[in-house]
Amino acid sequence: MNREIVLGLLFSWVQVFSGWSFGAPHENDYGSKMSEIKVTNAWTPALPPTAEVSAGYFTIINKGTEKLTIVNVASPAYGDVEIHETIVDREITRMSRLSEIDINPKEKILFAPGGKHLMLSDPHFPYKNLSGFIVTLTFSNGVKHHFSMDIKQRKNEPARPVNPHAEHFINN
């Protein structure tokens, strides 16, 4: 079997069984700490098979009474996962890597395009064979929270010019 088929089958199997192992609240050494963390609307855009980098978006809520700090993010679907933030400084947009993120009690943090996001690189799967994958957040207190990130197919969107002033240069 070729590598793409094997990886596709492996990640399809992980996806099917992840509902059993990751879908319900986890009991671990940290007891109820898992139930203090809620992740919703986790998604990443579908990309061409040759893409080496993507971004992941979601909302995380600290339902507990203590501050939580994300210190690591990982996924078996990617060789490298980092937390980044898009920053605009004097009309120059750049990304900055964040080594950790604090989430205060009852706080909700949005990971969205143009703001905080996961930088996903070195994919270990063929995009065409998967509808989602597992992401693991590790907190400074040792708690690990697993959630599923959906791969969202984009609707046909008109191409946008790279230069925002490009329409000024179109000959009529």
Q: Any idea where the domains of the chain sit in the sequence?
A: 3-153
CB 107 within 8 A of CB 61: yes
**DSSP letters along 30-69, please?**
TGGGGGGEEEEEEEEE---TT--EEEEEEEEEE-SSS-EE
- Of 108 and 20, which is predicted with more confidence? 108
Rounded average pLDDT over 70-95: 93
Whether 121 shows a pLDDT value over 80: the answer reads: yes
The type of residue at 164 is: P
Q: How many residues are given for the chain?
A: 172
* Residue 160 φ/ψ, nearest 5 degrees: -105, 140
Identify the band that residue 91 occupies on the pLDDT scale cut at 50, 70 and 90: confident
- Of 18 and 124, which is predicted with more confidence? 124
From residue 113, how far is each of 6, 30, 65, 80, 123 by CA, in Å? 32, 32, 29, 19, 20
* pLDDT tens-digit readout, 43-66: 999 888 788 999 999 999 999 999
β-bridge pairing 68-74 and 37-45: unpaired
* pLDDT tens-digit readout, 153-167: 766 544 444 444 444
Task: Collapse the DSSP code of 9 into the 3-class scheme (helix H, G, I; strand E, B; otherwise coil) and give the result.
Answer: helix
For position 33, what pLDDT does the model report? 57
* pLDDT tens-digit readout, 20-45: 333 334 333 344 455 789 999 999 99
If one counts every other C-beta atom within 10 angstroms of the C-beta of residue 125, the result is 20
Whether 139 shows a pLDDT value over 90: the answer reads: yes
CB 103 within 8 A of CB 60: yes
For position 90, what pLDDT does the model report? 86
β-bridge pairing 144-152 and 37-45: parallel
Work out the burial of residue 70: count CB atoms within 10 Å of its CB; fewer than 13 is exposed, 13-18 middle, 19 or more buried: buried
For position 129, what pLDDT does the model report? 65
What's the mean pLDDT when you consider all of the chain? 77
Share of the chain above pLDDT 70, in %: 67
pTM of this structure: 0.69
For position 27, what pLDDT does the model report? 38
Q: How far apart are CA 84 and CA 156, in angstroms?
A: 27
Rounded average pLDDT over 84-100: 90
- Contacts of residue 115, defined as CB under 8 A and 6 or more positions apart, other chains included, come to 85, 86
Superfamily of domain 3-153, CATH level 4: PCu(A)C copper chaperone (2.60.40.1890)
